[in-house]
Amino acid sequence: MDRSSSWLRPALRVAIPLMLAACCFFGQGLPVCADDAIRILENTHKVHFSERITFRLQVDALNEIQEVTLYYRRIGKGLTVKVPIPVSSGEDAFTYTWELEPGEVPVGAHIEYDWRIVDDSGNELRTSPLTLDYADDRFTWQALEEDNIILFWYRSSEVEARRLLGYATQSLARLQDEMGVMLKEPVRIYVYRSKSDMSLALPRKSEAYDDRILTLGVVVDDATLLLLGSQSDVEGTIAHELSHIVVGLATDNPYTSLPRWLDEGLAMYAEGELPAGNRRALENAIQRDQLISVRSLSSYTGDPSQVDLFYGEVYSLVEYLLQTYGKDKMTQLLDSFTAGITQEEALQRAYGFGVDELDAHWRKSLGLQPRGTPGPATPVPQRPVQRPCIPCPGVLWGGFLSAAAVAVGRKRARAS
What pLDDT, in 10s, does the model give residues 194-209? 999 999 999 876 554 4
pLDDT of 282 higher than 50: yes
Length of the chain: 416
Listed by start position, the domains of the chain span: 31-134, 138-250, 259-402+412-416
pTM (two decimals): 0.76
Q: Which CATH number fits domain 138-250: 3.40.30.160, 3.40.50.12280, 3.10.450.200, 3.90.1150.10?
A: 3.40.30.160
pLDDT mean over 52-75: 97
pLDDT of 413 higher than 60: no
For position 145, what pLDDT does the model report? Answer: 96
pLDDT of 27 higher than 70: no
pLDDT of 365 higher than 90: yes
Higher pLDDT among residues 89 and 16, named by residue: 89
Contact 161, 153 (CB under 8 A): yes
Higher pLDDT among residues 133 and 7, named by residue: 133
pLDDT mean over 340-357: 95
Would the CA dihedral through 378, 382, 384, 390 be positive or negative?
A: positive
List the single range of 128-137, 143-152, 254-263, 355-364 with lowest mean pLDDT: 254-263
For position 31, what pLDDT does the model report? Answer: 41
Higher pLDDT among residues 21 and 191, named by residue: 191
Q: Do domains 31-134 and 138-250 have the same CATH topology?
A: no
pLDDT of 76 higher than 90: no
pLDDT mean over 359-378: 79
List the single range of 216-230, 287-301, 318-332, 397-411 with lowest mean pLDDT: 397-411
For position 34, what pLDDT does the model report? Answer: 59
Q: How does residue 179 score in pLDDT terms, banded at 50, 70 and 90?
A: confident
Q: What distance in Å separates the CA atoms of residue 43 and residue 72, rounded to the nearest whole number?
A: 13
Q: How does residue 330 score in pLDDT terms, banded at 50, 70 and 90?
A: very high
pLDDT mean over 282-287: 97
For position 35, what pLDDT does the model report? Answer: 63
For position 213, what pLDDT does the model report? Answer: 54
pLDDT mean over 334-347: 93
pLDDT mean over 411-416: 39
Higher pLDDT among residues 81 and 416, named by residue: 81
CATH superfamily of 31-134: Immunoglobulins (2.60.40.10)
pLDDT mean over 274-283: 95
Q: What distance in Å separates the CA atoms of residue 112 and residue 308, rounded to the nearest whole number?
A: 42
Q: How does residue 189 score in pLDDT terms, banded at 50, 70 and 90?
A: very high
Contact 213, 190 (CB under 8 A): no
For position 22, what pLDDT does the model report? Answer: 40
pLDDT of 404 higher than 80: no
pLDDT of 393 higher than 90: no
- pLDDT (tens digit, 9 = 90+) per residue, 121-175? 999 999 999 999 999 999 999 999 999 999 999 999 999 999 999 999 999 999 9
Q: How does residue 211 score in pLDDT terms, banded at 50, 70 and 90?
A: low
User: In sequence order, what are the beta bridge partners of 80?
Assistant: 73
Contact 178, 322 (CB under 8 A): yes
